[in-house]
Amino acid sequence: MTLQEFRVDVPDAALDDLRQRVERTRWPDLPDVGWQRGVPVAYLREVADHWAHRYDWRTWQTRLSEHPQLLTTLDGQPIHALHVRSPEPDALPLVVTHGWPGSVVEMLDVVGPLADPRRHGGDPADAFHVVVPSLPGFGFSTPLRETGWGHARIARAWAELMTRLGYQRFGAMGGDTGSIVSPELGRLAPDRVVGVHVHGGLARPALLPDDVAALTPRERERLAVTERIWRDGTAYAAIQGTRPHTLAPALTDSPVGLLAWMLEKFWDWTDPAAPLPHDAVDLDHLLTDVTLYWVTGCAGSAAQLYYEVRATEQGPRPRSTVPTGVAVFPTDPAIRRVVEREHHVVHWTEHDRGGHFAAVEAPDLLVDDVRAFFRGLRENAGLRRP
């Protein structure tokens, strides 16, 4: 039950070793065919050079350390979390779940506006007490003590985490893995979860013949992006879902190998209007995410989640009764009539910019959407002053 204060403190020796490893990279000699076969070597070399010689982890560590953090043990697993209490007394507790290849770093641009809207030009009545856990085996929620950490078990752990923090009723939001864990949390504790807000799902919609006939032009465009990703961009999931231990040594030993593995997803899943990853996401923000994976050695343990899901979590889920909000960005394959079969959708917004990593690509849109969704739920939950 212990909640320990946690501070990020990466030794200089670890950062020096990272730089030296990047500088000693043994580069492949491959033909230049753009992104057709993966990350182009020329682009990877540019990003790696920036990582080794211009990127400053200490700047980002300071920014991360501005937020109070804790470490606890849930179901035998060390769990790290940001816990940012709002200065507003009537703030709604909100647990925020990231995905892969994300981390708590992914949420740095949204934590402040969610927790302290008054300071960020918003309505103080929209404030949240923000809890951002690191998924088991990710970042500082390491080492991974045992197998079996699928979505349902994570949801149970988050419910216990919120209990330990003193939050009886709360909201849940998340993207990628968070778009699955957050609804699972609602199914697990519908009496405690006020509402669930999701974005950034990657699952192919289970379309029925009538669904296909009713697709709008915009929905067809989004599904075309999804089909391309599933056709050309799911090798990573097949490997992480079947042989994560074979992959782990390569990603744990080679920082540039890890960078390439993660960088490809920031090209594949970000706003289609952005030609390169750094056009969609600030390059140093992206490299902070990669650096966190490197300094914690978590690439292999983070991959285990794919194995757990493939092994145990297939097929439709029971329909949730918890009010659900969905923010749809250009790379999201969400189709409302399909989503409504498993979720009680009361809020649906389609955005023209951003992508899978909305918290770093379009944090303003995501924050506004989360505020708007929960605004209509607070009074019903008895969490706003009369």
What is the per-residue pLDDT for 383?
A: 59
- Percentage of the chain exceeding pLDDT 70: 97
What is the per-residue pLDDT for 381?
A: 64
pLDDT band at 224 (very low <50, low <70, confident <90, very high): confident
In a domain, 13, yes or no: yes
Two structure tokens written together for 94: 């909100």
Chain segment 56-104, per-residue pLDDT in tens: 999 999 999 999 999 999 999 999 999 999 999 999 999 999 999 999 9
In a domain, 201, yes or no: yes
Residues 6+ apart with CB under 8 A from 279: none
In a domain, 354, yes or no: yes
Q: Residue 133, Cβ neighbours under 10 Å: how many?
A: 27
User: 176 or 386, which is more confident?
Assistant: 176
Q: What CATH number did the domain enclosing 228 receive?
A: 3.40.50.1820
Chain segment 194-217, per-residue pLDDT in tens: 999 999 998 888 888 888 889 999
* Mean model confidence pLDDT for the chain: 95
What is the per-residue pLDDT for 228?
A: 87
In a domain, 76, yes or no: yes
**Spatial separation of the C-alpha atoms in residues 3 and 147, rounded to whole Å:** 23
Domain range holding 158?
4-17+35-375
In a domain, 26, yes or no: no
pLDDT above 80 for 5: yes
Residue pointed to by tokens 């296909």: 212
Cβ pair 61, 10 in contact under 8 A: yes
What is the per-residue pLDDT for 313?
A: 64
pLDDT band at 382 (very low <50, low <70, confident <90, very high): low
In a domain, 23, yes or no: no
Phi, psi of 109 (to 5 degrees): -80, -10
Concatenated DSSP letters of 318-365: PPP-SEEEEEE-TT----HHHHTTTSEEEEEEE-SS--TTHHHHSHHH
In a domain, 25, yes or no: no
What radius of gyration do the chain's Cα atoms show? 20
Cβ pair 184, 152 in contact under 8 A: yes
Whose CA is closest to 290, among 137, 101, 136? 101
Structural domain total, the chain: 1
Chain segment 290-345, per-residue pLDDT in tens: 999 999 999 999 999 999 999 886 667 889 999 999 999 999 999 999 999 999 99
- Percentage of the chain exceeding pLDDT 90: 87
In a domain, 24, yes or no: no
Cβ pair 127, 116 in contact under 8 A: yes
pLDDT above 60 for 386: no
What is the per-residue pLDDT for 297?
A: 98
Percent helix, percent strand, percent coil in the chain, to nearest 5: 45, 15, 40
